[in-house]
A and B are shown apart, each in its own frame.
Chain A
Amino acid sequence: SQQGEEDPQALSIQEGENATMNCSYKTSINNLQWYRQNSGRGLVHLILIRSNEREKHSGRLRVTLDTSKKSSSLLITASRAADTASYFCATALNAGGTSYGKLTFGQGTILTVHP
């Protein structure tokens, strides 16, 4: 079963616009990660934010985390057609004190950036 939900399920924007995707989760986490997937195949790690962090930046990516609301957002600024992909959030839980990094994924947001 999925840890959380993402919205929107699909997002269509023009090149140059910003894209914001949201992720909600249900249980306490150690960290939250965002991944990108092209054409339904391999996932590429984008950014990781720990539970004690509130905001993180990487290039055109900005991630926020609100543990009180159990939610995160991914902002892609100045989007490009090449950003077209599916974006997933994934949470790493503390499972009985065993640290092994098992990821639980959201349903994903399909982003389409029109040139």
Chain B
Amino acid sequence: GAGVSQSPSNKVTEKGKDVELRCDPISGHTALYWYRQSLGQGLEFLIYFQGNSAPDKSGLPSDRFSAERTGGSVSTLTIQRTQQEDSAVYLCASSLAPGLGLEQYFGPGTRLTVT
């Protein structure tokens, strides 16, 4: 079946603009995760969804970042008033359930460049 998909694959935006990044998880996966990968910080957890709820938003770096998930499926990560330090690859992953020890399937990522 289809894997995790993300769009766009690349996004270049001007500082101060808002961006929306989309993640389509594997069908039937109830858990969805957003991570960010940047040169200075490596791979960092941002937020986790169980169904449409986000029990853990602890990794969101500032209140400019928000995310939602609808229908227990698609998730959107929104960054408002983008800054240059937001430039990174944003990775989405899903797993069958939020239990420990389950493989997470990653999407190809969205490379965000803020100019």
B85 near A: Cβ within 8 Å?
A: no
B91 near A: Cβ within 8 Å?
A: yes
A88 near B: Cβ within 8 Å?
A: yes
B80 near A: Cβ within 8 Å?
A: no
Q: Is the interface of A mostly helix, strand, loop or mixed?
A: strand
B95 near A: Cβ within 8 Å?
A: yes
Chain A residues whose CB sits within 8 angstroms of the CB of B48 once the complex forms: 100-102
Interface pair B42/A2, CB less than 8 Å apart? yes
Q: Is the interface of B mostly helix, strand, loop or mixed?
A: strand
Which single member of A31, A42, A50, A108 contacts B107 (CB below 8 Å)?
Answer: A42
Binds A, one of B14-22, B68-76, B98-106: B98-106
Binary contact readout B36-52 vs A (1 if CB under 8 angstroms, 0 otherwise): 01000011110010100
Whether A41 contacts B55 in the complex (CB less than 8 A), given A92-B101, A100-B48, A103-B45, comes out as: no
The CA of A45 and the CA of B101, in the complex, are separated in Å by 12
A71 near B: Cβ within 8 Å?
A: no
Chain B residues whose CB sits within 8 angstroms of the CB of A105 once the complex forms: 35, 42-44
B25 near A: Cβ within 8 Å?
A: no
Interface pair A92/B42, CB less than 8 Å apart? no
Chain B residues whose CB sits within 8 angstroms of the CB of A95 once the complex forms: 56
Can you list 25 A-B pairs with a CB-CB distance of less than 8 A? Answer: A30-B101, A33-B103, A35-B106, A40-B37, A40-B89, A42-B106, A42-B108, A43-B106, A44-B106, A45-B106, A50-B101, A88-B43, A92-B100, A100-B48, A100-B50, A100-B98, A101-B31, A101-B33, A101-B99, A101-B104, A103-B33, A103-B104, A104-B45, A105-B44, A106-B42
